[in-house]
Amino acid sequence: DIQMTQSPSSLSASVGDRVTITCRASQSISSYLNWYQQKPGKAPKLLIYAASSLQSGVPSRFSGSGSGTDFTLTISSLQPEDFATYYCQQSYSTPHTFGQGTRLEIK
């Protein structure tokens, strides 16, 4: 199975900050990397697919980059509604494993 490792596990930031979350795969996954946002009590929401493609309706302050084994999710200017948990997921092969999550908290 491909292991996905996110860092950091938690992060405190302020509204307006630029934030970067990283995700590393245990082997090359090309660009088969997705990012999801989850708020408490809600289902995950797709933000980025294919490493850098923005899902329809997602604000442009979210961006993704990377290929192979190393990926990043960047939020250019944090908004109050962005405080949530973020997960990366590989869809290169089954099982479609998720990272352990990054909890983004208000400083």
Partner 1 sequence: QVQLVQSGAEVKKPGASVKVSCKASGYTFTSYDINWVRQATGQGLEWMGWMNPNSGNTGYAQKFQGRVTMTRNTSISTAYMELSSLRSEDTAVYYCARGHTAMVPPSYYFDYWGQGTLVTVSS
Q: Which residues bind partner 1 (CB under 8 A)?
A: 1, 30-32, 34, 36, 38, 43-46, 49-50, 53, 55, 87, 89, 91, 94-101
Q: What's the min distance (Å) between Cβ of 32 and partner 1? A: 6
Whichever of 19 and 48 has its CB closer to partner 1, that residue is 48
Select 18 or 39, whichever has its Cβ closest to partner 1. 39
> Is the sign of the CA dihedral 61, 7, 83, 90 positive or negative?
positive
CA 96 to chain centre: 15
Distance between CA atoms of residues 47 and 27, nearest Å: 23
